[in-house]
Structure 1
Amino acid sequence: MRSIWLLLGLALLALSQVQAAEEDLDLSDLDLSDMDENEEEFLRLLEEKAKIKDVERENEIANQLAAVQHNLLNPVVEVDLCETMPCGAGRICQLTNEKPECVCIPDCPEEVDTRRHVCTNTNETWPSDCSVYQQRCWCDIQHEGCRNPDNAHMHIDYYGACHEPRICDGEDLKEFPRRMRDWLFNVMRDLAERDELTEHYMQMELEAETNNSRRWSNAAVWKWCDLDGDTDRSVSRHELFPIRAPLVSLEHCIAPFLESCDSNNDHRITLIEWGACLELDADDLMERCDDVQKAQPHLLG
């Protein structure tokens, strides 16, 4: 009987490197009554080794479950570097050597609807606003796709195909600043009635209603701040589009008027230049501008 147990022990020892045999080993059904101390010690060690293996497996499974739970509670989020890289019109962000940079948009969708055509300040019809912005970008970086270097400062005049422009001169041009001032105030009043102005601008509109000396200056400052989208204390010709587009078909003097506002021809209009075009007191405009800046610093940078 002892020889049988000895052979069994040797067989188990030979299979000690095989994981499956160790995991499936069950000594609870063995009759240990006829074994000597050495054999019992041998089997005890085997049983302890099996228990240690079970504990190791349990710990491994527990660690795997903990890792899965950690990943569920703390998912790894891939950061898109281009999400924090603002690009202007006609440009898109792309990664170059793992660094984000703005490049000219490579392709514009083909527009078959003629209503999507746009007319630029050069009275040239383009198939879409995307094609205008792309062309401007190409000319800005001197790309081979640039048709004319002057297109770097091209901007959209209005939507639709270009029509024969009417000439603005004489009394029409002379009277336009007054019409423009009135139009700005009426728009400001309309937005106030619809409760679409900020609290500070609402106060400015109320002041303009009750104080004729503030009527035009308040409206002029409000619109200039509204157009200054990038808050750099000047308005680009591109930023003038919200004024130019809705008026160009109604006021044939709007285009030459806005062009004349850029007195130094740097393609930007300062508040002083804006006031001069509207024939307003520059000191009064600056005072109004300072009030806006104090009330809402984010509007004017």
Structure 2
Amino acid sequence: MKLLLLLLAGLLCLVPTFAEEELSDFDLDELVDDDFGESAEEMLRQLEQKNQKNDLERENELANKFAAEARDQQNNVLQPVVEIDPCEKMHCGAGRVCQLNDNEAKCVCIPECPEEPDARRHVCTNRNETWLSDCAVYQQRCLCDTNAPGCLKPENSHVHIDYYGPCHEKRECSEEDMKDFPRRMRDWLFNVMRDLAERDELTEHYMQMELEAETNMTRRWTNAAVWKWCDLDGDTDRSVSRHELFPIRAPLVSLEQCIAPFLESCDSNNDHRITLVEWGACLELDETDLNERCDDIHRNTPQLLG
């Protein structure tokens, strides 16, 4: 019995880290009454388990503390400030560039255009004037539109490109040719529409219109005219600028001497924009039908092709 008590005293000396409440869990009287070998083994096992549990809890506590400190330190580190250029979201038209003024984005006329020594980069305007580049034309339009220094003449605010390359000698459009031009223009639009349909380059809605034009002669010219008009009217404001008519004018100007005067005549109020009503009148088409069909296209095909 004395030996057992001495053993217990020795074990208590070896485990000084235990708190008093942990040691109170053990009843020495009960240990004395138990079988000596079995009690000593069980006591050692329990002491070891409690010691491991305390060590684990302490390690977890320290780990959580260190992790929190690391997070706080990381949050306190100054993050690099990424400045967003206001000009990135600013869309400026042709001949204009975005410029910052007191951190405010503003579109201004392009200050300088690159030189274009290659004659193939020259352009011919609606006034049959050859300019060194399209950039030079757009820059001039901007300067005259804003009454800025560098504007050569006020009417240049509405100058636009007829085609690329130096100007050719202008051919006169006779009165007889001009009279027949709307019919030839309608035929040309339909042939282009048919060609794109055969190459499967039209949207589904346009394909349906082309099929209708093939089977219904009364819809042939109207559908073709509406197709190209709605294609050009990208902002759906029912008016097309002279510049927006470039895809029609450029491929025909060297072949059709009447295309330029025809498009000029379509702008009946001389506001430098051709409305849908003016377009239909020039092509001798029904105005009401044009409006209805264009509405239908804009509802069904938000992204136009052709």
TM-score, structure 2 normalization = 0.73
Q: 1:174: how far off?
A: 0.9
Amino acid at match of 1:292: I
Q: Secondary structure at the match of 2:243?
A: coil
Q: 1:278 aligns with which of 255, 263, 283?
A: 283
Aligned residues: 241
2:113 corresponds to 1:111: no
- Summarize the Cα distance change of 1:206–1:58 in structure 2 as closer, same or farther, 3 Å threshold: closer
2:163 corresponds to 1:123: no
Q: 1:116: how far off?
A: 0.4
Q: 2:223 aligns with which of 212, 218, 223?
A: 218
Amino acid at match of 2:209: M
- Summarize the Cα distance change of 1:297–1:114 in structure 2 as closer, same or farther, 3 Å threshold: closer
* Offset from partner CA, 1:22-52 (integer Å, 9 cap, x none): xxxxxxxxxxxxxxxxxxxxxxxxxxxxxxx
Amino acid at match of 2:212: E
Kindly indicate whether the alpha-carbon contact (under 8 Å) linking 2:203 and 2:301 is maintained by their aligned counterparts in 1: no
Q: 1:77: how far off?
A: 4.3
Q: 1:169: how far off?
A: 1.7
Partner of 1:191: 196
- Summarize the Cα distance change of 1:156–1:57 in structure 2 as closer, same or farther, 3 Å threshold: same
Aligned partners of 2:192 and 2:133: how far apart in 1? 28
Q: 1:163: how far off?
A: 1.6
2:165 corresponds to 1:160: yes
Aligned partners of 1:295 and 1:121: how far apart in 2? 35
Kindly indicate whether the alpha-carbon contact (under 8 Å) linking 1:189 and 1:205 is maintained by their aligned counterparts in 2: yes
Aligned partners of 1:276 and 1:295: how far apart in 2? 25
Partner of 2:271: 266
Q: Any gaps of 5 or more consecutive residues in structure 2?
A: 1-64
* Offset from partner CA, 1:92-124 (integer Å, 9 cap, x none): 111111111100000000111011000000111
Q: Secondary structure at the match of 2:188?
A: helix
Q: 1:287: how far off?
A: 2.0
Aligned partners of 1:60 and 1:295: how far apart in 2? 58
Q: 1:230: how far off?
A: 2.6
Aligned partners of 1:271 and 1:239: how far apart in 2? 13
Larger of the two Rg values belongs to structure: 2
2:294 corresponds to 1:289: yes
Aligned partners of 1:254 and 1:108: how far apart in 2? 30
Q: 1:291: how far off?
A: 1.9
* Offset from partner CA, 1:222-266 (integer Å, 9 cap, x none): 101111133222100010111111110111110000000001100
Percent identity among equivalent residues?
75
Kindly indicate whether the alpha-carbon contact (under 8 Å) linking 1:157 and 1:244 is maintained by their aligned counterparts in 2: yes
* Offset from partner CA, 1:151-210 (integer Å, 9 cap, x none): 000000111111210000221111111110001011111111111111111111111111
The within-5 A match list for 1:1-301 is 63-64=72-73, 77-296=82-301
* Offset from partner CA, 1:262-289 (integer Å, 9 cap, x none): 0110000111100111111112212212
- Summarize the Cα distance change of 1:204–1:67 in structure 2 as closer, same or farther, 3 Å threshold: farther
Q: 1:59: how far off?
A: 7.5
Kindly indicate whether the alpha-carbon contact (under 8 Å) linking 1:262 and 1:269 is maintained by their aligned counterparts in 2: yes
Q: 1:57: how far off?
A: 10
Kindly indicate whether the alpha-carbon contact (under 8 Å) linking 1:231 and 1:298 is maintained by their aligned counterparts in 2: no
Q: CA RMSD, aligned part only?
A: 2.3
Aligned partners of 1:143 and 1:159: how far apart in 2? 26
- Summarize the Cα distance change of 1:196–1:100 in structure 2 as closer, same or farther, 3 Å threshold: same
Q: 1:85: how far off?
A: 1.1
Q: 1:67: how far off?
A: 6.2
- Summarize the Cα distance change of 1:181–1:63 in structure 2 as closer, same or farther, 3 Å threshold: same
Q: 1:81: how far off?
A: 1.2
Amino acid at match of 2:296: D
Q: Any gaps of 5 or more consecutive residues in structure 1?
A: 1-55
